[in-house]
Structure 1
């Protein structure tokens, strides 16, 4: 399987989840997207399930000098979650990464303010929550987001991604109640290689998608 774009990936995830919804397993579901790339994927899921869509902003903490290599992540105002083994291997400490955490925390709050525009975070307690991203590589941001959500006592916590590294997907099973990962290729190198169109999603794109779905709210499932 290969995805045309994030919208196509979201439609494929939605098909899998609709099977669960038909059995009544997704009552009162809330779809949360990890911005930015997870938002167009999650929009298709929310529309198919007739469920509300919102965002959960999490930020990756990168290796100094290699910001794309995640060594930890933050969500909301929670303490950072680090890969302790990776820290030890690289000779790093949490204290040394304090400035990086502070910078990413500022960016996290900027995005929350921008995307929510004063709206409160949605209620999680007692609900089925479906966390959506466009793929899993190291999984550090998804892990921080799932850990944050778990503390809010959802009735069921589902991670849904189109593609991911199989070892990362296995690791996420300790954080989520259920996982939908449509492709777990043995030759996984990056999320983008499984999309024909993997253009960057902008802040304006995120805001437009959230606005469009709020302007035509779904009817109850």
Structure 2
């Protein structure tokens, strides 16, 4: 396992214009350090924010684009932060430390998992079939727009192992905490903007930031 990041952007803020720029910079980082075999490699996006990043990366590297549905299991009082993640294949990871810290009951945990499962099932119906991950190549680059806690990517890695011999994580930005969490599960990590400052927010790496809607995500896939 290895971690490749760009020293020029270490602990920097506002390094990407938007998610498209982030995907292109990510592609540049990868091709500088990795010999990509186009016939054996897929770019696998984590919706929704990871889709425009992966789209730009796949376009620049001329690779096939796939989608792996993974979603945060949200705290009941927010639409942003989560205490774990769930994938379209039923793989789940829970941040037990966060559950204990916020004193979240088992019933609430189950209810939030149920809501996450419903969200994934809804997205499974709207994403074009040809993009859904159902069979793989030899190598996958798993792409999201950034890693804060790392739990979503941890679940994505577990699910991608069903289809790929080698699973690499490729993200524009990540916290050092998230990198440490996923490092033992994947074969390598490419991250343009690594930050070990606290508090960490994915949005701080972008000059233009908005939540990617399902409609916008589908436009990229079309």
Normalised by the size of structure 1, how large is the TM-score? 0.85
Given the alignment of the two structures, is residue 78 of structure 1 paired with residue 99 of structure 2, yes or no?
no
1:141 maps to what in 2? Answer: 152
Contact kept? 1:80, 1:101, Cα under 8 Å? no
Query: What pairs up with 1:20-59 in 2 under 5 angstroms?
Result: 20=33, 23-24=35-36, 27-59=39-71
How far residue 163 of structure 1 moved from its aligned partner, in angstroms, is: 0.7
Given the alignment of the two structures, is residue 11 of structure 1 paired with residue 21 of structure 2, yes or no?
no
Given the alignment of the two structures, is residue 130 of structure 1 paired with residue 141 of structure 2, yes or no?
yes
Deviations 1:124-152 (Å, cap 9, x if unpaired)? 2x5101110111111121111111112x0
How far residue 186 of structure 1 moved from its aligned partner, in angstroms, is: 3.0
Q: Number of aligned pairs?
A: 208
Point out which structure has higher relative CO (alpha carbons under 8 A, 6+ apart): 2
Q: CA RMSD in A?
A: 2.1
Deviations 1:19-44 (Å, cap 9, x if unpaired)? 355x3556411111111111111011
**Which one of 183, 189, 200 corresponds to residue 193 of structure 2?**
183
Unpaired stretches in structure 1, ≥5 consecutive residues: 212-221
Secondary structure of the corresponding residue to residue 196 of structure 1: coil
Cα 1:94–1:80 change in 2 (3 A) is farther
Unpaired stretches in structure 2, ≥5 consecutive residues: 1-8, 10-14
1:158 maps to what in 2? Answer: 168
Contact kept? 2:171, 2:191, Cα under 8 Å? yes
